[in-house]
Chain A
């Protein structure tokens, strides 16, 4: 017995004809399915294959309408029997392969039907109502499931997706190429060379400077480990710039300094004793650092305008000193600015008279002509602190220095014992420092006082008697001996422990 089921909607009706396998009224074998669409003369009719195909395509297309993502089930392809495509505006194209249709004229071309949205929806609704009807084809179930990720093609073609990374790489390449031809900024070059220069001055002068050079490390760096230095420099005192100034520039700068410091000094200022400083100056006239040359200068620092005038650069690499001057405040408040060698090192030793820390009793052979002839030597303080030492001549550099850490340790211990054994038991006094040079056999080659007070106690400590080999050809090393009271004797390598 043939069973007919009809699902009628305003624009489309679905007629299903089939058989029931048993006495119940359930349509379980589909014989014919027919869609009648309002406004179309021909109906779409076919068997089970047709019905399955159209249900799959219409369902998938409805999902596409909702999500906007193409489903493989409705896309036209080689294998698809029925496909649905979006058409113009609100129309949609239904493509049906001719072999599915129960049609008399056997066409070879796929049948194309244009459906409006409402017609298509009614078709889907008829199918949905069929699914909701438990009496018709109960075993025919098409679940509605989300589309798997692998079916989703990217909405943009590969060419478009490739554009942003390509642009990025190309821009980087172009920028790199462009910048390659740009000169390195000058400031950068200076700051690159700067650290090396600094290290050379402060790191290990005895090792790195050639013999005969007169650079004595009165700089704070090697001593920093043991004692706070008696020489205080301002926040930064970088090495002088590599490029020397011309004589005119130097003169201008000197004049500028003179005016600047005189202007900053109150008119009626008077000092108890002359104060002298090294100052390093930037090209634009900023004072970048100052270095008191004796204790009186250090104590009187606050009464000078120097602390206020000093410009502390944010980044010491950006501003480099170009010149060094000797600055002297006379007792009556007169300011004298005298040039040092431009491009010199920041802690260059001015003639011995004004540098009590490093007293070389006789004219050191290695001293720079430029400095010995510097006007600073004629300062009023000249000669006031110079001491004539019968012994302790100490060339400022060592020809071959000792590098073996174990040997240095032994020498250090030996020297300490020697000093302790040699000194007067009752000795007491202020803190004194000496530089003592040993050769590799432990013999004292020479010594020199390293601070003011030290000069007065040379005899008390019998240092002169210690000198055994004044001119030893062997490798040598300097040690720092610090005595404060009879109990405390500290001995360390001058340049720190290796």
Chain B
């Protein structure tokens, strides 16, 4: 007779302890944090074609399967972004947010070369006063980001409305690229994590 082993106790991945608790009252992430995390992941998707697969691989590498269980779960967490068309009105817990931060920074580090290359190109364009379309790779990134953004964000939201033009969206894409660069740093996780709660702690 087979004896069933007791159900596996979900062990909290120790890697999450790398990030301190931010000192907010609830166990939920503030609204801006949900938006910011989703936007950063949107930028990663615009940089890398196979980003969702890479994200799942990163989850496995970091041992975060218990927190981010599968592709659908990750999608649901990203959909907590209130600006999304198919917004899931559910909370994003601190633990889930920590896991997402770790995954994002892991992906960013893998993209360090590309991100730096884009910045050098951007710098050259700016110095020569050329428009952004003159850098092939950068233009591709911007175009993909605009397409992703418009496909997924709810155009009825006031904040999404402020990004209605290509120029505004390009500005947002470049700001996100800067954030990705910061995330590649040695303390990228800590910086991103702390920034999610800016203005939310007392």
Q: Is B181 in contact with A69, judged by CB distance below 8 angstroms? A: no
Complexed CA–CA distance, A71 and B197 (Å): 13
Q: Interface size (B, Cβ < 8 Å)? A: 33
Q: Closest CB-CB distance, B50 to chain A, in whole Å?
A: 25
Q: Is B202 in contact with A149, judged by CB distance below 8 angstroms? A: yes
Interface majority SS on B: helix, strand, loop or mixed?
helix
Q: Is A63 in contact with B185, judged by CB distance below 8 angstroms? A: no
* CB contact list, A123-180 vs B, under 8 A: 124-125, 128-129, 131-132, 144-152
Asked, given contacts A117-B178, A145-B194, whether A67 binds B36 with beta carbons under 8 Å apart, the answer is yes
- Which residue in B119, B190, B194, B199 is a CB contact (below 8 Å) of A152? B199
Q: Which residues of B contact A124 (CB under 8 A)?
A: 182, 185
Residue B142 interfacial (CB < 8 Å): no
Q: Is B123 in contact with A116, judged by CB distance below 8 angstroms? A: yes
Complexed CA–CA distance, A121 and B182 (Å): 7
Complexed CA–CA distance, A147 and B22 (Å): 10
- Which residue in A67, A128, A129 is a CB contact (below 8 Å) of B196? A67
Q: Is A148 in contact with B186, judged by CB distance below 8 angstroms? A: no
Residue B120 interfacial (CB < 8 Å): yes
Q: Which residues of B contact A68 (CB under 8 A)?
A: 175
Q: Is A62 in contact with B196, judged by CB distance below 8 angstroms? A: no
- Which residue in B119, B122, B185 is a CB contact (below 8 Å) of A128? B185
Residue B198 interfacial (CB < 8 Å): yes
Q: Is B119 in contact with A144, judged by CB distance below 8 angstroms? A: no
Q: Is B202 in contact with A148, judged by CB distance below 8 angstroms? A: yes
Complexed CA–CA distance, A116 and B192 (Å): 20
Complexed CA–CA distance, A203 and B126 (Å): 89
Complexed CA–CA distance, A19 and B143 (Å): 53
Complexed CA–CA distance, A367 and B15 (Å): 102
Q: Is A144 in contact with B194, judged by CB distance below 8 angstroms? A: yes
Q: Is B123 in contact with A144, judged by CB distance below 8 angstroms? A: no
- Which residue in A90, A121, A149 is a CB contact (below 8 Å) of B185? A121
Q: Is B179 in contact with A65, judged by CB distance below 8 angstroms? A: yes
Q: Is A149 in contact with B182, judged by CB distance below 8 angstroms? A: no
Residue B48 interfacial (CB < 8 Å): no
Q: Is A65 in contact with B182, judged by CB distance below 8 angstroms? A: yes
Chain B positions near chain A (C-beta within 8 angstroms): 22-23, 32, 36, 116, 119-120, 122-123, 126, 174-175, 178-179, 181-183, 185-187, 190-202
Pull 12 A–B residue pairs with CB atoms less than 8 Å apart, ordered by A.
A62-B182, A63-B194, A66-B195, A67-B198, A89-B126, A90-B126, A91-B126, A117-B181, A118-B116, A118-B120, A118-B123, A124-B185
Chain A positions near chain B (C-beta within 8 angstroms): 10, 59, 62-63, 65-69, 71, 88-91, 116-118, 121, 124-125, 128-129, 131-132, 144-152
Beyond A69-B198, A132-B186, A146-B195, list 13 extra A-B contacts (CB 8 Å).
Answer: A63-B191, A89-B126, A90-B119, A90-B174, A117-B119, A128-B185, A144-B194, A145-B201, A146-B22, A146-B194, A147-B198, A149-B201, A152-B199
